[in-house]
Structure 1
Amino acid sequence: MAYTEAKKRLRGSICPVITPFTEECTIDEKTLKELINWQIESGSHGISVTGTSGEPSSLTMAERKRVMDLAKEAIDGRVFFAPGTGSTNHDETMELTKYAEEMGADAAMVIVPYYNKPNQEALYQHFKTVADSVKTPIIIYNIPGRSAVNMEVSTMKRLAQDCPNIIGVKEANKDFEHVNRVLLNCGRDFLLFSGIELLCYPMLAIGGAGFISATANVEPKKVAEIYNAWEAGDVAKAQNLHFELMPLNDVLFKDTNPAPVKVALGMMGKATPKLRMPLGLPSAEIQEEVRETLMNLNILSKEEATK
């Protein structure tokens, strides 16, 4: 799609769907499709896979491509598709981003490389090389808490100016001053998505395009309704949903994402809570907090909670 069209369409609540595993820790293909269908039926505006919530660093390249294929098939054009194609390895990022283009993804979400800690010029060169290799719209994924590097606004501005297919950013950045300056410097039409749950609603107020929230894995309808309410001009409803979801947002990040999310989905009967090592399940105390929160929000009934 043309980049102007992409900027109009790629908005709302994009769910970063988990990668469900069987008890043997292989990809549960049937459950992945079921989760995506549930997301779309619940009102999510877009789907992403193999982002942080999808445990991409625990998947092989072949598995990442398989998950992308399964997601594309399940979505079947009903909502837009923006898979995560980034890696700590430059060549892998190139290969996965080109694969996203070949399969017809609506955009590719490319993470700031983790562990390597590149400087700002290296970040620029990495992203520019990837962007120049495809025509697919690219959404930068800036998550300094996981990558140990923050893409500075000046670097993002250079990329937005030099690469017409870099159309936005998922900012998993708690620095709200930083995200304000992203729109100021990259342009008000630059797509700004929140990757911080407690900033999903506030980001809309400054002109954000939406959010890519792990919480949508558990409560997709209400997360999507925040965006819908804001677009409809119902500020009070959006605010109320924001505060209603805060306890869920808090408990789902009591341990490393996506561990609490998978625990919640296990309690809900949506997927097994299996994670691939080196990740592991949260403590019994955190699991009980997850259960209580789901019950308090009527996501889980008392009968379901005792199963």
Structure 2
Amino acid sequence: MAKDYAEIKQKLRGSVCPVVTPFTSDHAIDFQAQSELIEFQLENGTHAISVTGTSGEPSSLTTEERVQVMENAMKTINGRVPFAPGTGSVNHDETMYLTKKAEEMGADAAMVIVPYYNKPNQHALYKHFKTVADAVDIPIIIYNIPGRTAQNMEVKTMARLAADCPNIVGAKESNKDFEHINRVMLNCGRDFLLYSGIELLCYPMLAIGGAGSISATANVEPKKVAEMHDAWAAGDVKKAQDLHFELMNLNDVLFKDTNPAPVKAALGMMGKIHPDLRLPMDLPSKELQDEIRRTLQDYKIEAVSYA
């Protein structure tokens, strides 16, 4: 039986945290730390959880490691909030495999990235996403991030997919072109779940009827990110605006190097994880680490000694 997509469209809103994948000092996945990060999110009001998206370093994980990270997150969440793992890849068969795994484990939705590096044309993008959507009965969120993938899913392609695939229910738009984002909403329908993946557009996305945000900053300051969405939902526009501007300095410093390097550095300073990435990714420069520490202190976030 097909899922009730109307129900998930009501549930999967607000701050969706794309939780990082923590590693031990020898670069193994630290599942205990991952569970503790998820608990930290839920204790601070985060509305939904994602893993193995950009912030989760999926290209540094094997396919089976991605499944393990998804399974551990699913077990930790235990139905308390919606779960929408990233299941996309540059490889079509791997995307199919991971999306089916997400469905099998009972995830609420799957986030599928526009394939990176190989730059498929718009017709190929349509075929890729339609084939994945037709193979599963799980809601699909398209992840459009042209700055990483070197290809933008055009509005007409996304609208065609939304019309032809009932389980393509929304998109994460990590797209600085806000005109494009407005046209996605117009052409895909006002009930299409549109999330901002650009931190400075998280509040503007709500103003045009967006579903919320999937913001890396929520890893570090989950309470304020969630409160911004709560304030908007409660009709407290001024509070939502105030939180939007209050978060700007933190947003800025966390994106002065490639995500998730600054976020992992910050979480290391907070004592949440061992702040390592797998090569070819690495931590930010000492100068940026110092700036991150100062910024955390400005936000009254305790920064412990940094290893």
What is the correspondence of 1:79-98 to structure 2 with a 5 Å cutoff?
Answer: 79-98=81-100
- What letter corresponds to residue 10 of structure 1 in structure 2? L
How far did 1:184 drift? 0.4
Alignment correspondent of 1:109 = 111
How far did 1:300 drift? 2.1
Q: Per the alignment, in what secondary structure is the counterpart of residue 105 of structure 1?
A: coil
1:197 to 173, 182, 199: 199
Alignment correspondent of 1:210 = 212
Distance 1:183 1:306 in 2: 43
**Does structure 2 conserve the Cα–Cα contact (< 8 Å) formed by 1:120 and 1:151?**
yes
Q: Does 1:171 align with 2:189?
A: no
- What letter corresponds to residue 149 of structure 1 in structure 2? Q
How far did 1:299 drift? 1.0
CA RMSD across the alignment: 1.0
Cα 1:305–1:232 shift into 2, 3 Å: farther
Deviations 1:162-182 (A, max 9, x none): 000000000000000000000
Distance 1:6 1:135 in 2: 13
For structure 1, the 5+ residue unaligned runs are: none
2:132 to 115, 130, 133: 130
Distance 1:305 1:169 in 2: 39
Q: Per the alignment, in what secondary structure is the counterpart of residue 247 of structure 2?
A: helix
Distance 2:259 2:94 in 1: 23
What is the correspondence of 1:274-289 to structure 2 with a 5 Å cutoff?
Answer: 274-289=276-291
Alignment correspondent of 1:11 = 13
For structure 2, the 5+ residue unaligned runs are: none
Alignment correspondent of 1:154 = 156
Alignment correspondent of 1:230 = 232
Q: Does 1:35 align with 2:62?
A: no
Distance 1:41 1:67 in 2: 20
Distance 1:267 1:6 in 2: 36
- What letter corresponds to residue 117 of structure 1 in structure 2? K
TM-score (norm 1): 0.98
Q: Per the alignment, in what secondary structure is the counterpart of residue 270 of structure 1?
A: coil
Distance 1:162 1:248 in 2: 40
**Does structure 1 conserve the Cα–Cα contact (< 8 Å) formed by 2:47 and 2:226?**
yes
- What letter corresponds to residue 253 of structure 2 in structure 1? V
TM-score (norm 2): 0.98
1:52 to 51, 54, 76: 54
**Does structure 1 conserve the Cα–Cα contact (< 8 Å) formed by 2:22 and 2:29?**
yes
Deviations 1:139-164 (A, max 9, x none): 00000000000000000000000000
Distance 2:23 2:13 in 1: 29
After TM superposition, where is structure 1 displaced by more than 3 Å over at least 4 residues in a row? 304-307
Q: Per the alignment, in what secondary structure is the counterpart of residue 15 of structure 1?
A: strand
Alignment correspondent of 2:269 = 267
1:293 to 292, 295, 300: 295
**Does structure 2 conserve the Cα–Cα contact (< 8 Å) formed by 1:215 and 1:248?**
yes
How far did 1:305 drift? 5.8
Q: Per the alignment, in what secondary structure is the counterpart of residue 80 of structure 1?
A: coil
Q: How many residues are matched?
A: 305
Q: Does 1:242 align with 2:244?
A: yes
- What letter corresponds to residue 140 of structure 2 in structure 1? I
How far did 1:306 drift? 8.0
Deviations 1:167-216 (A, max 9, x none): 00000000000000001000000000000000000100000000000000
Q: Per the alignment, in what secondary structure is the counterpart of residue 22 of structure 1?
A: coil
How far did 1:272 drift? 1.0
Distance 1:34 1:6 in 2: 26
Alignment correspondent of 1:26 = 28
**Does structure 2 conserve the Cα–Cα contact (< 8 Å) formed by 1:226 and 1:238?**
yes
